[in-house]
Each structure stands twice: as structure tokens, then as C-alpha cells.
Amino acid sequence: MAGGQSAKAPIMQAGGNLTTRQIWWDCVVTREFIMTATSTTPAKAPVTGELPRIISVDDHVVEPPHLWQTWLPEKFRAAGPRVERHGLAGLKFIGGTSYEYDLSDDAPACDIWIYEDQMYPNKRHVAAVGFSRDEMKLEPITYDEMRPGCYEPTARVDDMTMNWVDASLSFPTFPRFCGQTFAEAKDKELAMACVLAYNDWMVEEWCRDSGGALIPLCLIPLWDVRAAAAEVRRNAARGVRAVCFSEIPPHLGLPSIHTGSWDPLFAACEETNTVVCMHIGSSSKMPATSPDAPPAVQATLSFNNSMASLSDFLFSGVLVRYPKLKLAYSEGQIGWLPYALERADDVWREHRAWAGVADIVPEPPSTYYYRNVFTCFFRDRHGLESLHICGENNVTFETDYPHTDSTWPETKQVATDMVRGLSPEVVYKIMRGNAIRMLDLDLT
């Protein structure tokens, strides 16, 4: 039982009404026990000395140049996304998910996505595997310079095999982490066709011949919630169990989760056992201290978006209305969770009479975290030291291929070092068991 007895003692010692505090924390522990006992948790792995083969719940695909020119209906292809090669100079990160640059025939070549009146250059730090750390720069890149595993499924599976990875879930690149590129487009009929084409490519080309190694993760039309729910059901009918969503929709000019506007989507996801996957940056806005702060500041603070989003969901009532809905936070790491959960429960207990949640959140917010939410990490020693709070049934692992943070090709050693000292049963849950349950995979 994750977060059981060792979590109770410090909470009870925190002062105040001990009886009340004990009751509400026992509620959390009991909910977690119930989830563990009644879920379809895979059988425990054999106790061996070798790390279980990993299921990575957060990787990325650099879409191949032919995607929309092949998978769009013919009438949309001329206007659909396409790749052109141009010289690119002055590439500079300007915050959030935005860059500035100039086209120049004398500059290094770059393969650039062209869509409507926008240009989206491929960048080396996004397709970083195969380069040394000092070469993972913010520079233009062509497909010829990328490692083929970035965009070609057979090569990806080969790279996974050498990296001790059994299966992988990949987020999009050109569409951005939840399809913001299409949500911002002017021609929504074309944008809808692009979303459907991406999903067809994801299922029928990227994943089809991988023998289950590549797990489909689909997009939705964010601007039309009923069409989004229909797309979830369409993909679920062909075995898809994961969909991209924004961590903080209002940052994209969309309704918040507090409005009820997204309920048709959440209902469809609960009905089809589809996990709602939210990657850091899926709100197109990243935490930063000032416009002139180096990108390293933003990269360090990126977990803040996951923390904000989780707080939103815990106090929204969504997880009360949809008790079987599954949420997954990607690349946010886990070390922030213990205090965030403690604070949320304190606010619920101390402030609920005036804070607008007394009628919609009947149990301590951490109850819903342990029951409904999955998180992941790649390097987070502090989080693993707090695993009794983060939840051994809630934590999964990622390799972040092919981004700069990726542990490829040393993931097995990195993961082995990270989980040293944990029991084989817990290591199995973190490396693959929880991902199997999260994604409803036919694996053991």
C-alpha cells in the first residue's frame, strides 16, 4: 500500500484536531488500499536481479515529412502541412513554445513545416539523440541529420530494444503536445482533417507493425468538445487508450475544466478507459521569471505546470463526477507531489467553507490523486525517497526520447541506479506494471 503507515505519523503530529486529521488521512489511505485491491493490477513480476523491461509513458515522435500529404484526403493535401528545406539563421528561443529566426540562403539548412501562414522549423535539441551533450544545441536540423528513430517506426523500435524499453507512448512534435497547432489554425475544416489524418497515421502506420512496442496516443479537435468526444470513441474502437489534452486549457483561450464544458470529453474517456495525457508545455505557456531569464530557468521550473494542473483537477469536482477517469502527467517529475498533496488536503480541511469546494469535493483531494492520477519521472531521487507519499501505484517511468532530457541509450543503467534499494515488486510497478494498468495494455 503506497503512502500507508509511514505517511500517517507526520500528518498526525502536525497539530490541530488530531482526531479530525486522523480521520481525513485514514480516508486517503483507505481509498488507496481500495484502489489497489480492486484494480486490474498485473501479477507481480518474478523476483530477479535484473531490471524489468521498461514501458516508457513519455517519448516523442518527429512526424515524417509525408504524414499529411499521405494521410489527408486528397482535396486537403495542397493546403495541408508540408516540409520545405530552407536556410535558417538567428534561431532564438523567446519563451513559452515560441522562437524567432530568419530565412537565409547562406545559413545552415533546416527542414521546416509549412502550414497556413506559419512556419515551424525542426530543431536539434528536439531531435537530440545521437548527439553529444555539448552538441544538443538550439540549431536548425534536417531529417538527414536526425537519428532515424526520431521519425521512422522500425528504427524507433530498434533504438528502444537497445535501450531496454519494451513499449513506448509518443507525444507529437509539429502539432505540439496536445494539437495546439491545429486549434490555432484559421481553417477549422482543414484542421479537423489534419487531426483525423494524424490519428490514422498514428494507429495505422506508426504503431501498426510494431508488435505492440509503439503505443498509440491520439489528438482531439480542442475547439469542438463533442467532436473531440466522438474522436476518442472512434479511436477507442480500434484499441487506442490514450489521448492528448492541455494541462491548463485557459492558456490556449479554451474553457477551464471548472466550467463543465469538457464533461462530454471526460465522459467519453471514462466510458472507453482512455487515459487523459497532459505533457508539460501543453498549455503553450511555461513558468518563467522574466523575459530575459535564460531558458535554463524555464526548464528548471517546468514542473509547476503539472502542479497547477493537478490542483485544478483535485478541486474541480471532475474526478468526483467521473470516478473512473484516468489522468496522466508527463515529464513533470514527482518530487513536488508530497507537499502539493499535503497542502491541498490542508486547504480542503481548513478553507473549504469559503473556498468554493465544500459542495463539490466531498473527500480530501489526495483521495482523488491516489485513485485517478498517474505521474512519471526519469531522474528524481527526491521523489523516489518520498515514494510512500507519491504512491507506488501512481508512479511510472519515461525515457523522453529523442529530447535533450532523454536517458537514451543509457536508460537501463540510469533506471537501475534510480530504483536501487526498492523491492523488486515496487520496481516492477514503476518500470512497467503501473503503465500497463494506466494504458490498459495486454502485457504482463
279/328 same-domain check: yes
Instruction: Flag whether 225 is in a domain.
Output: yes
For residue 337, what are the CA distances in angstroms to 60, 132, 214, 313, 341? 24, 32, 29, 14, 6
300/313 same-domain check: yes
pTM over 0.95: no
Among residues 101, 129, 147, the one where a domain terminates is: 147
The pLDDT of residue 49 is 78
282/431 same-domain check: yes
301/191 same-domain check: yes
Instruction: Flag whether 85 is in a domain.
Output: yes
Between CA 142 and CA 83 the distance in angstroms is 10
The pLDDT of residue 45 is 46
Among residues 147, 174, 204, the one where a domain terminates is: 147
Low-confidence ranges of the chain (pLDDT < 50): 1-47
Instruction: Flag whether 74 is in a domain.
Output: no
51/93 same-domain check: no
Q: Which domain holds residue 26?
A: 5-66+149-439
222/369 same-domain check: yes
**Placement of cell 510497478 in the chain:** 429
CATH code of residue 409: 3.20.20.140
Domains in the chain: how many in total? 2
Among residues 147, 173, 202, the one where a domain terminates is: 147
433/355 same-domain check: yes
Which amino acid belongs to residue 73? Answer: P
53/87 same-domain check: no
The pLDDT of residue 24 is 39
137/230 same-domain check: no
The pLDDT of residue 353 is 87
User: Taking each helix axis from N to C terminus, what angle separates 225-236 and 188-201, rounded to the nearest 10 degrees?
Assistant: 20
Between CA 329 and CA 376 the distance in angstroms is 7
Between CA 345 and CA 183 the distance in angstroms is 35
Q: How many CB atoms lie within 10 A of CB 43?
A: 8
The backbone torsions φ and ψ at residue 105, rounded to the nearest 5 degrees and listed phi first, read -65, -25
42/129 same-domain check: no
Between CA 299 and CA 303 the distance in angstroms is 9
